[in-house]
Structure 1
Amino acid sequence: MASTVKNVRSTFELSGRNYIVTGGAQGIGFTISRAICEMGGNVAIWDIQDKPVDDKEFNTWATEFGSKTLFVQTDVTKKESLEAAFKKTLDVFKTVDGCVPSAGIAIDKPFIDQTWDEFNRIQEINVRGTFFAVQMVARHLIEQKKPGSILLIASQSAHIALPGYRMAAYNTSKGGVMMLAKVLGVELAPHGIRVNTISPGFVDSDQTRNIREAKPSKREGEQMWLAPPNQRLSKQSDLTGAAIYFLSDASIHTTSADIAITGGLHAGTIDGLISYEK
């Protein structure tokens, strides 16, 4: 009987594949975009900003990795903007093999004080923007009769109530994203389309920095790195290995799955600060 064991290294390659990353002008989306290029893929970044925060680095990927890159200013809350971005992407890449909708916002505010408009804005970007970006990509893959991989960005907030943070609207949105990946992984499997999630913990970024600095005391802000069992903030590069795994053929039989990258916080906390200074 011939051996069915295959070499592992090549299954992580993304050579010749094209991916869309929303919210990729900075933060997690930017880091995952770079990782896609490093592994041989091409990337189209869609973002509300007019250019990447680190435009100089973005412009090196084509020469450093031999990848095609595209940046499209896009508002994921607007149907017409999404459709225009997708058309422009296909004009350049001709086809896509998957997407990583990472556009997202959060607020840290007591539940009883969160407003109608704040809630709606979070759901529009985090959930609806993700839903319809994925829908366009899935429809294209089905029409082209080709397999694909879609990676959604959930959060530790889809697993737990964060110690020291009051983010009900955000938790709700990320719970929705995780459930969306589960149901789409099932529904789209007959078409060879896999849908998975990663759940980042407290990642060192402008967003988490702003939330931390808005805390009434330094002690409450410190819970971001003291509450996780590993007792540190996540780096954006902590996420890229799992992202490439899900986008590549290394995870060819994996769908509707989640990898929590939280320093252990999704499982609990023992020594983290859980009290509040008045």
Structure 2
Amino acid sequence: MAKRRKTVLVTGGGRGIGFALCKAVAQMGGNVGVIDHLAKPVDEFSELSEKFGSKAVYEQADVTKQDSLETAFRNIVDSLGEIHGCVPAAGIAIDKPFFEHQWEECQRVLAVNTLGTFWTTKLVSQHMSEHGKGGSIVMVASIAAQGFKIPLQNISIYNMSKAAVKGLAGPLAVEMGPYKIRVNKISPGIIMSPMTSALKTQYPKLLQMFEHAAPADRIGVPEDLTPAIVYLLSDAASFTTGADIVMSGGIHAGTLMAWTERSM
């Protein structure tokens, strides 16, 4: 990544998993362009260039609005030049019983998580095809899209949105093959981030259950995901496309039967 000074576009890169990825890319010598709805990113974002000698550009935009997304994308290209990799990581969730879901909020989740990923990927892949050098796109799905090994409810629309991302990645890897554009996805488990921070206060027992049920015996952090994403973005993964890397602490494979005793 440092050798070619690759540039990676990250949506949702203003904080959480997205920012952790930006930092990892900068550490590896790459440039980062971020599109996020936040007025400003975490304070550490402004230090990326000074610390790692990489360029870091931030654009506030709404990935669900065509004009907003396209303008932000053009601004990043104008600032950083050719885009070599993309991680559409912008995502939101609703935590409430199925019968209480409202039309507007469900539409918003699908617009951000699913269509935001779709349209960002379309913009970037068109850009990559025009430059003729290929590239790498890493989508963020979830083990929620393939079913947990322990019961979890109240996030139906989130599960649905991530299942759609999972359904998009595979066929797109085939379709983008002739353009030398690789499309992969990661499927994280429970990762502590601003989106999941409510678990600490609202559902401490649920959080404890996930922690002790996972073979890794802990909850994930954003930095657990970044090595795999950086790999998929790099030339080291030139023969990897259509893949799904699951990072759940092992909970997708099964749970530790003795989690209740261990948590007492």
TM-score between the two structures when normalised by the length of structure 2: 0.93
Distance 1:42 1:165 in 2: 39
Please say if residues 213 and 221 of structure 1, whose CA atoms lie closer than 8 Å, have aligned partners that are also in contact. no
1:104 aligns with 2:91: yes
Please say if residues 18 and 43 of structure 1, whose CA atoms lie closer than 8 Å, have aligned partners that are also in contact. yes
Distance 2:163 2:200 in 1: 22
Distance 1:123 1:269 in 2: 30
The corresponding residue for 1:86 is 73
Alignment of 1:215-234 (within 5 A): 215=203, 218-234=204-220
How many angstroms does 1:212 deviate by?
Answer: 4.4
1:173 aligns with 2:161: yes
Q: Which of 47, 50, 68 is the matching residue for 2:39? A: 50
- Superposition misfits of 4+ residues, deviation over 4 angstroms: none
CA offsets per residue over residues 78-107 of structure 1, 9 Å max, x none? 101001001101111121112111000112
Aligned amino acid, residue 68 of structure 1: K
Alignment of 1:108-123 (within 5 A): 108-123=95-110
The corresponding residue for 1:191 is 179
1:29 aligns with 2:18: yes
Aligned amino acid, residue 178 of structure 2: P
Aligned amino acid, residue 134 of structure 1: T
The corresponding residue for 1:9 is none
Distance 2:240 2:88 in 1: 19
CA offsets per residue over residues 14-69 of structure 1, 9 Å max, x none? 6411111000010000000111111111001111011112x2x2122112211111
How many angstroms does 1:250 deviate by?
Answer: 1.1
**Root-mean-square deviation (Å):** 1.6
CA offsets per residue over residues 114-173 of structure 1, 9 Å max, x none? 222221111000000110011000001111111100011111111214634431111111
Distance 2:161 2:182 in 1: 21
Distance 2:95 2:217 in 1: 21
How many angstroms does 1:75 deviate by?
Answer: 0.6
Gaps of 5+ in 1: 1-11, 274-278
How high is the sequence identity, in percent, across the aligned residues? 43
How many angstroms does 1:108 deviate by?
Answer: 2.2
1:16 aligns with 2:5: yes
TM-score between the two structures when normalised by the length of structure 1: 0.88
How many angstroms does 1:13 deviate by?
Answer: 4.7
The corresponding residue for 1:7 is none
Higher mean alpha-carbon deviation, 133-142 vs 104-113, is at 104-113
The corresponding residue for 2:202 is 214
In structure 2, the CA distance between the partners of 1:128 and 1:14, relative to structure 1 (3 Å rule), is farther
Distance 1:118 1:212 in 2: 23
How many angstroms does 1:258 deviate by?
Answer: 0.7
How many angstroms does 1:256 deviate by?
Answer: 0.8
Please say if residues 109 and 157 of structure 2, whose CA atoms lie closer than 8 Å, have aligned partners that are also in contact. yes
Alignment of 1:110-189 (within 5 A): 110-161=97-148, 163-189=151-177
Q: How many residues align?
A: 258
Gaps of 5+ in 2: none
